[in-house]
Structure 1
Amino acid sequence: MQAEGGLGDRVKVACAVVAILAGIVGFYLLAGKPTLTRVGVLVAGLVVGAVLAWFSASGREFIAFAKESYRETRKVVWPPRNDAIRLTGIVFGFVLMIAIFLWGTDKVLEFVLYNFILGWKK
């Protein structure tokens, strides 16, 4: 029996990555073929990669992590819709103010640099 994370496990993960990459590359190399064929190659590569990853220790650990993450997100208390919309508007407003400030600062520095320090006229 192999130790967790041994050579066999690394080979399985490497084969999974190669299968996924082969599916993606195949999708783009078959650009002239029907869409169903291209998507089939992509899905086949993803499925083969997922199956190979499933049989590795790190793949099983990832699945356990994903399940636990999903369980944790179910525990999150989400804000009511009105609060979320209001807070999103505040964030957008703040981002807009910062963007205008940075644009203005850039223009002032550009004017000072080109007109006074370097003596260039744009």
Structure 2
Amino acid sequence: MSDKIKLLFAFLLVVAGIAGYYYLHDSAAVLRLLSVLAGVLLAVGVASTSESGRQFIAFGRDSIAEAKRVVWPTRKETLQTTGVVILFAITMALFLWLVDASLMTMVNKLMGRAE
């Protein structure tokens, strides 16, 4: 139950930050932005003390660790793959244009229309 209260309080902090943004409508834009930012940061602080917040932080850390293990392609591999994709797209476009033109010609002949 305390986790739900913490999450509700975190939500209310975000709402308070947004309300502060509109309350300070005559103030400088920086103050309005700081109001929202403060609300969000305080909400993150409160939410991180809940069990679901700790799980989310652990998930974020695991995601970063997994992203570090990714083997990215070299520049050469990237250019080769991009070239194959572009070549395939051009070939497919020409093929579809040829099929479309052929079907249009056959339909026009069947309908007795002159080209």
| 1:26 aligns to 2:7 (yes or no) | no
- Picking from 29, 49, 74, the partner of 1:35 is 29
Aligned residue in 2 for 1:13: 7
Q: Structure 2: where are the runs of 5+ without partners?
A: 97-115
Match of 2:43 among 49, 63, 68: 49
Residue 63 of structure 2 corresponds to 69
Q: List per-residue Cα deviations over 1:57-98 (Å, max 9, x = no partner).
A: 11011101100110001000011234335545737x84xx78
**Unpaired segments of 5 or more residues in structure 1?**
1-6, 102-122
Q: 1:78 to 1:35 in 2, by over 3 A?
A: same
Give the counterpart letter for 2:48 in structure 1.
Answer: W
After superposition, the CA RMSD in angstroms is 2.9
Larger radius of gyration: 2
Identity %: 34
CA distance, structure 2, for counterparts of residue 84 and residue 32 of structure 1: 51
Q: TM-score, normalised by structure 2?
A: 0.63
TM-score normalised according to structure 1 size: 0.60
Cα gap change, 1:11 to 1:75, in 2 (>3 Å): same
Which aligned pairs between 1:78-117 and structure 2 lie closer than 5 A? 78-85=72-79, 87=81, 90=85, 94=89
| Distance change in 2, residues 1:72/1:30 (3 Å) | same
Runs of 4+ in 1 over 3 A off after TM superposition: 28-32, 82-89
